[in-house]
Amino acid sequence: MEKQLTKHATGTGYEKEQPEKFHKFLARQRSVFIVAFVGYISAYLVRNNFKLMSGDMIDLYGWDKLNVSFLLTCFTITYGLGKFFMGMLADRISLRKLFAGALGISAIICILIGFSSKFALIAILLIICGLIQGALAPSSQAMLANYFPNKTRGAAIAGWNISQNIGSALLPLIISGLGFIAPNNILLTFLVPGLLVLIISFFLWRFGGDNPEKEGLDSLRKMYGKDGEPNVEEEVDKTMPYWQLIKKYVFFNPGILMVGLINAALYFVRFGIEDWMPIYLGHTAGFQSWQYLTAISVLEWIAVPGSLFFAWLAVKFPNKMTIVGAIGLFVMSGLVFVYENISYSGPRDYIFLLIISGLLGTLIYGPQLIVNILTLNFVPLKVAGTALGFVGLMAYLIGNLGSNWLMPILADHLSWTTSYFVVAGLAFLSGVGYLLLAKRERKAIKA
């Protein structure tokens, strides 16, 4: 126990003055991380079901691609809005109840979609699902922000970030397994993951956390001193109304506005590559479906150790993640052109594609997780949920929708090279944006 406390020493002597209380805090810190991590894996098990089954639903329900595009847009827009409004809610109510409750409702909606065949009904359910799912990222990250001090908050967020890769990779495996058991049974692909996540949500309701003070523990500020919470420009006025807080520290915060723009650009890069891989690699680069599907899977799986590498960097350089992110994005900018020039002429090209896909996964998700770290480091904990939601709103309404529409328009009217030139350019500009935030990051987090 003493060894563990020394490892997590606060620098204020708190761990020696209150050893039992501090040990209890560390135990809760670990359990809260597990709740946030497992919960966000579960979020993806009831989020992408429609996207993965859309081809089968076209065949079964007589839809066309525009029907699917409309339904995906319904989710994308409301998910972006949901991140913002639910992020605001996360600052006002119990994080534990919001996170577990939103996950449970998402599971129920997923099950209902499985029982639905009417286009309009599925559209309504996806709109509701987007709004509810929007609560999960801000509330889970805000939980971590409330239990991890400055020097380990970045590592906690970086570790949490790989949950989305694991969830994205697990759901296709679950659906594939169900396909062997009951071929062409669309209901099971929504029902089984939905029931599983519904059960998980009950455990998360029990073991989630809001903040240490609500559990009879001391605040991060008391335990770690100034190293406990983000160092904003001045001491936060605790009597300031909530709306004035978010106006000052979110809407008119230059650091948050810059982070939001970077996040929008990175989401364009992410979805501009991932969502268009099947069409680009299959229709233009000459790869077969099993080859590009494997490449997509490799991108997600390699992103896991890649993100862990960035998590390790967050521990080593807690106030230099902007520099790390910028370097990664400059490399990514060049790698996009390598990817765009791949075409299939033999097995070597397939192996090369897998290598490039793995590198892309690392350089997409690694620099992107830094957005969440910076967001939490640039605002007081009281408005962490709103800040995360605001940055997420910009990502989906500008970045994701932009890639959905601009990529195919440029490819059809000019060329795929033009589309990927935009992707590479945004990656490079995002790296420049990170460098512009380096001084602010060092001020917020003292090494």
Is residue 116 domain-shared with residue 157, that is, in the same domain? yes
Pair 207, 260 in one domain: no
Q: Using 50, 70 and 90 to split pLDDT, how confident is the model at 1? A: very low
With a cut of 60, say whether residue 447 has pLDDT above it. Answer: no
Reported confidence tier of residue 432, pLDDT bands at 50, 70, 90: very high
Give the Cα separation of 23 and 126 in Å (integer): 43
pLDDT score for 48: 81
Residue 78 pLDDT more than 50?
yes
For residue range 125-175, what is the model confidence (pLDDT) as tens digits?
A: 999 999 999 899 888 988 888 888 877 877 788 788 888 888 887 887 788
Residue where one domain finishes, among candidates 207, 228, 249? 228
Domain annotation covers residue 214: yes
Average pLDDT, the chain: 83
Question: Domain of 75: which CATH number?
Answer: 1.20.1250.20
The answer to whether residue 284 sits within a structural domain is yes
Tell me, yes or no, whether 236 lies in a domain. no
The reported pLDDT for the residue numbered 221 is 81
Could you read off the pLDDT of 419-430 as tens digits, one per residue?
889 999 999 999
Flag whether 235 is in a domain.
no
Residue 199 lies in a domain: yes
Burial label, 39 (beta-carbon count in 10 A; 0-12, 13-18, 19+) = buried
* Pair 186, 39 in one domain: yes
- Looking at the predicted structure, is the pLDDT value of residue 3 above 50? no
pLDDT tens digits, one per residue of 267-303: 999 888 887 777 777 778 777 767 777 787 788 788 8
Distance CA 396, CA 256 (A): 16
> In this structure, is the dihedral angle defined by the CA atoms of residues 26, 30, 31 and 36, taken in order, positive or negative?
positive
Let me know if residue 233 belongs to a domain: no
**Quick check: helix, strand or coil at residue 365?**
helix
Same domain? 324 vs 209: no
Asked if pLDDT for residue 313 goes beyond 90, the answer is no
pLDDT digits (tens, 9 = 90+) for 108-130: 999 999 898 888 999 999 999 99
pLDDT of residue 9: 63
Mean predicted confidence (pLDDT) in 89-107:
89
Residue with more model confidence, 74 or 10: 74
pLDDT of residue 317: 78
State whether 397 and 254 are in the same domain. Answer: yes
Q: Which among 184, 207, 228 is the end of a domain? A: 228
- Give the residue numbers spanning the domain of 172: 1-228
Is pLDDT of 344 > 50? Answer: yes
Last residue of a domain, one of 228, 260, 295: 228
pLDDT of residue 46: 93
What single-letter DSSP state applies at residue 46? T
Q: Does 327 share its domain with 375?
A: yes
- The answer as to whether 186 is a domain residue is yes
Residue pair 423/272 in contact by the 8 Å Cβ criterion: yes
Q: Is 309 part of a structural domain of the chain?
A: yes
- Per-residue model confidence as pLDDT tens digits over 226-254: 777 666 655 555 667 777 877 887 888 88
Phi-psi region of 60 (alpha: psi -120 to 50; beta: other; left: phi over 0): alpha
Could you tell me if 325 and 207 lie in one domain?
Answer: no
Note whether 84 and 221 are same-domain residues.
yes
In this structure, how many other beta carbons lie within 10 angstroms of the beta carbon of residue 170? 16
Mean per-residue pLDDT for 86-94?
80
Give the model's pLDDT for residue 8.
65
Q: pLDDT of 380-406, one tens digit each?
A: 877 887 888 888 888 888 888 888 778
Between 186 and 199, the higher pLDDT residue? 199
What is the per-residue pLDDT for 169?
A: 77
Backbone phi, then psi, for 345, in 5-degree steps? -135, 0
Look up the pTM and report it: 0.77
Our count of domains for the chain comes to 2
Same domain, 104 and 132: yes
179 and 319 within one domain: no
Same domain? For 135 and 174 the reply is yes
Do 86 and 60 lie in a common domain? yes
Q: What is the DSSP string of 301-330?
A: HHHHHHHHHHHHHHHH-TT-HHHHHHHHHH
